Every structure is written in structure tokens, then in C-alpha cells.
Amino acid sequence: MNILQISNKAIYPPDGGTQAILSMSKGYVRNGHNVHLLNMTTPKHYNNISIIEKEYLDHLKIITEEVNTKISVLRLLLNFFFSKKPYIAKRFYTNKFSERITELIKTENFDFIQIEGLYVLQYIHIIKSGYKGNIVYRPHNLEYKIWESNSKESSNILKKIYFKVLSNKLRKFEQRFLNLYDYILPISDKDAVDFEKEGNIKPVLVSPYGFDTIALAKAEKNDTKSGTKQINYIGALDWIPNQEGIIWFTEKCMPLIVKEIPNIELHIAGRNAPKWFIKKLKRKNINFIGEVENAYEFIQNPGPIIVPLFSGSGMRIKIIEAMAFKKTVIATPIAAEGINYENNVNIVIANNPESFANSIIKTIQNTNFEKEIGMHAFEFAKKNFDFENIAANIISFIK
């Protein structure tokens, strides 16, 4: 098969979204298909072909268009008061990208086209004007739900109002494109149910984030120690839900943990942390690392991985990766949404400061518990999130 995959994100630097897109491309190639990945380079993301393994390069072609997505305060304000289309979506729409889509459709014969996320879905009319084959929509989440949650969680009244307005605009915007595609691939069972509630009537196949189980097995360290007095966090630190979750953890949970384990350390890694956020983390028992060269190496550091999240939609890729490395993950229920986990079997779920702190203390003080959770996590991840199997299921579904 010849597949066109369209994304609003280039592949580097890696984050949850870019990894979900690239892993799908690799999964298709591993199944014997050819992929054209058309994406946007923006001030935040660009293409770095060197991160793609040689085995994929003959069958994966990356095509790019530069798009300026920098936020203009004036345009944001004008959009807030005078436009029905959300500003966050307008930033990703350009005539040049439309022309590039049209050009590819004319010059290549694609068996199906896969749209990655809402901000590319707005190009579907351009796609349908020149293409009569199957169009597959792969939403990574319901965008409006993220901002709806941000509005509820924010203590700043202006942000609360803005996020609520943005959420309403995004929901209406999302509904405009509902059922214009032929198939939909939600990333979790919960998202599949939510799309059905929104009015989706097209065929649905839940297709979670997948990873290369062979590559991860090669990357795994054999010298990981249990029982260390260290807690680890990694995530994009310019994303509001991550910022709010870390602040909650440092203010509400860390004091309870330090009281029991005085020499405990929280190691925080992630890129694009704003200065105000870094300043807030300057306190005893917290080691702010910032961006790391190799996320997989950081994930394998001794100690549990924490994912304190109170808003968002979709699936947390870092949880799946940590599971694949036999790590004990301690997360809030929202963070683990979309993962059919077993609490206290392959992950530990906590929803308040006391339970979160107690779970961390137990994990650090009970090495057998930590190892058992980690082993079950690995078995769960390997069985459910191999990208080759996920891609094969999609091909069968579309056929």
C-alpha cells in the first residue's frame, strides 16, 4: 500500500504527539507499506531524519512545509472577540500547506490518507476535492476537553474565562468536521465513547500509541537498581496540565514524603520550561534537570515515575514507555485514562496527596512491590502496544 500521513507536527524534538505519529509511520513500513509523511515545521518542531533508523528510510518519505505558528497577542484578542474559529486552529491553516496537499494527491496514487489530529482535519475539504479514496482520521484526543479541564482547574479568573471560551469554540469547530472522514482511529476506548457521544457514526477502531518492542528491549539497561531514594518525572514543561500537575505534587505531596524519607529527591526533566516555572521548583529535595538528551535513559533511572495530571484527554505515552522499561508508574486516574490498567498490579493509581505520597513511600521502601509492579507493567505494555501489530490491525480494518 501507498499511504499519505498528514500531521501538523514535525518529528523533532520528540514528544508524545511526534512519537505517536512517527511510530505509526514505522508500523506501516514494518508491515511492508510505503508512507509519505507530510508535516509542518514550526518554531517548536522541525524534521531530523537522523533519528529514523536506516531500516525505514527506503519506504518512509518525509515532506515538509514551514508554517509560522507563533502567537500574536493582537490576533489572539481579535480572534477571541470577533471570530468563531479558534485561534489555536487558525495558526495551523495556510494556503501553502493546502497547495502541498493538493500537489501530492495529484502526483501520487495513495491507497488511503491518514489525518493526524484536529488541526489537520480542517484540511479535509481540500483533500476531498482531489481525492476519492478512503480518509482515515486519527484524533490523539478531543481537543476541547483539554481546555475545558484547564478552565476548571485554573485559579486565574482571566485564564478560566479564556480557556472556557476556547473550549466552546473548539467543540463547535470539531463538530463541523465530524463524519467527513471514512474511518476514525481514537487512541483509547474512552475517546471512542466520547466521539460516539459527540455524534460520530463512522467505523471505529481504537488504535493506541505503539512502540517498537524490539528497539526498547535493546535500549533497556540491566543495571537498574530498586529501592533508591529518588522520584522521577519527565514531560513537556510548556504544557499547562503538566505544569499544574507538577506544582500540585511539589506543594501537596512532597512535604508528606519528605517527612517520612528526609533525603528523598524529585528529579524533573522536560523541555521548554518557562522561567517562572523553574523558579517555583527551586526548593530543597527537588532537582530540576530540564531537557535531557535521551528520554529513555532518564526513564530508566532508579526510582518510580510519577504522572500527576488533572486535565487532558487521550493517552499518556510516557506511561506506556515507562511500563515497557519495567518501571513502577504512580499516576492520577486522569493521567492513566485510555490505558486498561490494573491498579496495584501493573500501575499504581492515586487521586489525592495522601494516597500519592503513601504510594511513593511504599514503592521506595518495598523493593519486592516495586519489582512486581514493574514486571507486570512490562508484560502489559508488550502485549498491548507493539506498533507493528497496531498498524497491521488498522490495515485489516480499512480493507
Give the confidence band of 399 by pLDDT, cuts at 50, 70, 90: confident
User: Do 252 and 175 have their domain in common?
Assistant: no
In total, how many domains does the chain have? 2
CATH number where 173 lies:
3.40.50.2000
H-helix segments, 115-239: 118-121, 124-130, 143-153, 157-176, 189-198, 213-219
Q: Are 10 and 24 in contact (CB under 8 A)?
A: no
Q: In this predicted structure, what is the pLDDT of residue 228?
A: 61
Domain annotation covers residue 300: yes
Whole-angstrom Cα distance, residue 390 to residue 300? 25
In this structure, the answer to whether residues 91 and 122 fall within a common structural domain is yes
368 falls within a domain = yes
How are strands ordered across the β-sheet holding 134-138? 60-66, 34-41, 2-7, 112-116, 134-138, 183-184
Lowest mean pLDDT among 28-32, 80-84, 153-157: 153-157
- Pair 23, 85 in one domain: yes
- The confidence score (pLDDT) of residue 315 equals 64
Band (188; pLDDT cuts 50, 70, 90):
confident
Q: How confident is the model at residue 316 (pLDDT cuts 50, 70, 90)?
A: confident
Q: Within this chain, do residues 178 and 155 fall inside the same structural domain, yes or no?
A: yes
Q: What is the pLDDT of residue 314?
A: 60
- Do 176 and 289 sit in the same domain of this protein? no
- More reliable by pLDDT, 225 or 156: 156
Q: What is the pLDDT of residues 94-128, one digit of tens each?
A: 999 999 999 999 999 999 999 999 999 999 999 99
The answer to whether residue 106 sits within a structural domain is: yes
Q: How many other C-beta atoms can be found within 10 angstroms of the C-beta atom of residue 167?
A: 21
pLDDT digits (tens, 9 = 90+) for 240-293: 889 999 999 999 999 999 999 999 999 999 989 999 999 999 989 999 999 998
Indicate whether 198 and 308 sit together in one domain: no
Q: Are residues 90 and 178 in the same domain?
A: yes
Reported residue count of the chain is 399
Same domain, 225 and 355: yes
Tell me the per-residue pLDDT of 13-69, one tens digit each, with 9 for 90 and over: 888 788 889 999 999 999 999 999 999 999 989 999 998 999 999 999 999 999 999
Does a structural domain hold residue 240? Answer: yes
Q: Do 250 and 335 fall into the same domain?
A: yes
What pLDDT is recorded for position 318? Answer: 87
Pair 76, 181 in one domain: yes
Answer whether the bond into residue 208 is a cis peptide, omega within 30°: no
pTM of the model: 0.78
Domain boundary among 207, 232, 254: 207
Q: Which residues are registered as beta bridge partners of 287?
A: 267
Query: What whole-number distance in Å separates Cα of residue 311 and Cα of residue 70?
Result: 24
Domain membership flag for residue 168: yes
pLDDT-derived band at 313, boundaries 50, 70, 90:
low
Which among 207, 233, 263 is the end of a domain? 207
| Residues spanned by the domain of 222 | 214-384
Question: Are 298 and 269 spatial neighbours (Cβ–Cβ below 8 Å)?
Answer: yes
Q: What is the gyration radius of the CA atoms in the chain, in angstroms?
A: 21
Query: Is 394 domain-assigned?
Result: no
